Amino acid sequence: PAVVGLARVASAPRPDPTQFDPGAPGFDPKSDPAAPRWYLVDIRYERHLPRPVTLAELKARRDELAGFALLERPRLSVMPVSAAQRKLILALAADPGR
């Protein structure tokens, strides 16, 4: 696992319609249209990083990345990143010797 690029959230969250569709891979029989369990957002591609920044590299800098969602809930694929976290990740991606 690695961070390979940057994107921005480009829409407000909305219920994922596949959770209500029995024929869809995202179907969740416990979901209720009155109280959806799953939401989605559109994302806008920004760019690829010069090189992947591995999860191991990020874990090695856990102190510098305190509160980073990727290290707390690693199954998330879209998550908030603070300006300081972004700066560190971009520095790691630019310098393979770090």
**Residue 98's pLDDT band (cuts 50, 70, 90):** low
Q: Could you give the CA distance from residue 62 to residue 90 in angstroms, rounded to a whole number?
A: 16
Partners of residue 39 on adjacent β-strands: 15
| Three-state secondary-structure class, residue 15 | strand
Task: Please tell me the total count of domains within the chain.
Answer: 1
Q: Angle at CA 10, nearest 5°, toward 9 and 15?
A: 85
**Residue 95's pLDDT band (cuts 50, 70, 90):** confident
Residue 72 has pLDDT above 90, yes or no: no
**Long-range contacts of 34-37, Cβ-Cβ distance < 8 Å, separation of 24 or more:** none
Residue 36 has pLDDT above 80, yes or no: yes
Partners of residue 5 on adjacent β-strands: 48
Threshold 0.95, pTM exceeds: no
Can you give the residue range of the structural domain that contains 72?
2-94
Distance of alpha carbon 86 from its chain centroid, rounded? 12
Q: Could you give the CA distance from residue 96 to residue 98 in angstroms, rounded to a whole number?
A: 6
